[in-house]
Structure 1
Amino acid sequence: MDSVIECIISKFAINTKLCGAVDMLEGKDAIQRDLERLERWACANLMKFNKAQCKALHVSWGNPRQGYRLGREWIESSPEEKGLGVLVDEKLNVTRQCALAAQKANRILGCIKRSLTSRWREVILPLYSTLVRSHLEYCIQL
């Protein structure tokens, strides 16, 4: 599949992402050609893309927001997408990802507070380290 693709393609488990620069008309055409090649490859290998999950994320402020097709269906445009657990919007902002992680951590803290009668450090610290901290530290490098 990789040998015929002009744009950047990344695959992980059952997810495939196609990326390309659309600064000129040639960029839009290259992405559309690659989508057509992917569709032909899938048909030749008796596979299907879940077209309901296919989305176009237009990154940048000056992006012309071109429309793309996969087979006969138009790909829906999306203001944000999640990839490998990281939520990124069209301005490459991860603020919403951080807010969602903080919400999840606060919910877990509330559950710990409601379900435990002991407030001893020896009890709370392992629960915090195990259940809460992992959510706050996920994708911190990003």
Structure 2
Amino acid sequence: MFADDCLMYRTIHDTSDAAALQADLDNLQQWEQDWLMDFNPSKCEVITISNKRNCISFPYTIHNETLKKTDCAKYLGVHITSNLSWSTHVDKICKKANSTQAFLQRNIRSCPQKIKARCYTTLVRPLLEFSSAAWAPHHKSDINNLEFQRRAARFVMRDYHRTSSVLNMLSQLNWPTLQQRRDTSKLVMLYKSYYGLVDIPPRHLVLLSSRTRGHNLRFVIPRASILVYQHAFFPSTIRMWNALPASLVTAPSCEAFRGGLTNIIPSASLEFSCTFFFSAPRLLHGCDNTRPPRDTSHHKEEEEEEEEVCR
């Protein structure tokens, strides 16, 4: 057996932290022997995630082989870079989606409109939205690169006239922009996190003590000293959440919340940005989407400095 998609990380302040991470790797080697697994050092990588110019360098090893360092690593389908820029991931998924779209245009050109629309929403759009709540970009160039729907709408409607309105085509197809769908995905994930429908620690969700305006479930926006964290999942999504009406944030189920966002999301998208670092796999509750009782205790915000990630 082989252990795939295994990730180990630690915050590195000095060489003692790096040595502790190496000790964790040594313990991992003992674990693989106990469970009859095998780590291939040639397929393992080390990525340093930091905005520092001079990072601590340490030769991490597995089976006495030094692991190679990289600036970009793919983890669970998402390309993570050392500076947490999502441009690389956007370029790769756009290339894959473009190839799939070209395949559809060659093979189902004469099919009915309904079939072509279904093929796009089934085969192309999921490639552009997988885990989008975690990596949704904030750079305008990346956002524009992801908008495949204008070309797809012309293909579905079989209308390539230069004077035709693509916005009218999107309206007829009832396709919201991918940016709006990413914002919806982020808000739904925050809803699940707050109400305990997903295993994400709600330490960033601290209720505001002052309620002079807005609903009673407004959260404190985490303080961000760097641009990457300012556009991260919690700061950017909390801004949109705080602008939602009270009737929506207290929706009785996830389906009701998602449905209520249909007419709200265009005006609630105050921040078109999102980046988030997957520190470890998360487990979803194997139950329905009705809200279970939740713990009302809150944790203080923790700031991350530098991460050494071994995969």
TM norm. shorter chain > 0.5: yes
1:138 to 121, 130, 137: 130
Q: Deviations over 1:92-142 (max 9, x none)?
A: 122111111111111111111112342642232111111111111112111
Residue 71 of structure 2 corresponds to 79
SS of 2:41's equivalent? coil
Q: Which amino acid aligns with 1:100?
A: K
Gaps of 5+ in 2: 135-311
Cα pair distance change 1:37/1:105, threshold 3 Å: same
Aligned-partner Cα distance in 2 for 1:45–1:122: 50
Q: Is 1:38 the counterpart of 2:9 in the alignment?
A: no
Shift of 1:60: 0.7
1:106 corresponds to which of 81, 98, 109: 98
Which structure: greater strand fraction?
1
Q: Is the 8 A contact 1:56 1:76 kept in 2?
A: yes
1:48 paired with 2:38, answer yes
**1:14 matched to which residue of 2?**
4
Q: Retained in 2: the 8 A contact 1:58–1:65?
A: no
Letter in 1 for 2:30: R
Query: Could you say what secondary structure the match of 1:49 adopts?
Result: coil
The percent of aligned pairs where both chains have the same amino acid is: 25
1:126: which partner in 2? 118
Which letter maps to 2:14? M
Match of 2:60, as an amino acid?
Y
Contact 1:104 1:135 in 2 (8 A): yes
Tell me, yes or no, if the aligned pair for 1:79 and 1:90 is still in contact at 8 Å.
yes
Q: Work out whether residues 14 and 56 of structure 2, in 8 Å CA contact, stay in contact via their aligned partners in 1.
A: no
Alignment length (residue pairs): 130
Partner residue in 1 for 2:61: 69
d(CA) in 2 for partners of 1:116, 1:47: 45
The answer to whether the 8 Å contact 2:41/2:63 transfers is: no
Moved more, 15-24 or 40-49: 40-49
Superposed displacement of residue 28, structure 1: 0.7
With the length of structure 2 as denominator, give the TM-score of the two structures.
0.39
User: C-alpha separation between the residues in 2 aligned to 1:57 and 1:44?
Assistant: 27
Q: Tell me, what secondary structure is at the counterpart of 2:74?
A: strand
Provide Cα deviations, 1:1-45, integer angstroms capped at 9, x if missing partner: xxxxxxxxxxxx733211011111221111111111222333344
Higher relative contact order at CA 8 Å, sep ≥6: structure 1 or structure 2? 2
1 CA distance for matches of 2:31 and 2:122?
44
Distance 1:101 1:46, change over 3 A: closer
Mapped partners of 1:43, 1:131: distance in 2: 40
> SS at the partner of 1:29?
helix
Mind listing any 5+ residue stretches in structure 1 that lack a counterpart? Answer: 1-12
The TM-score with structure 1 as length reference comes to 0.81
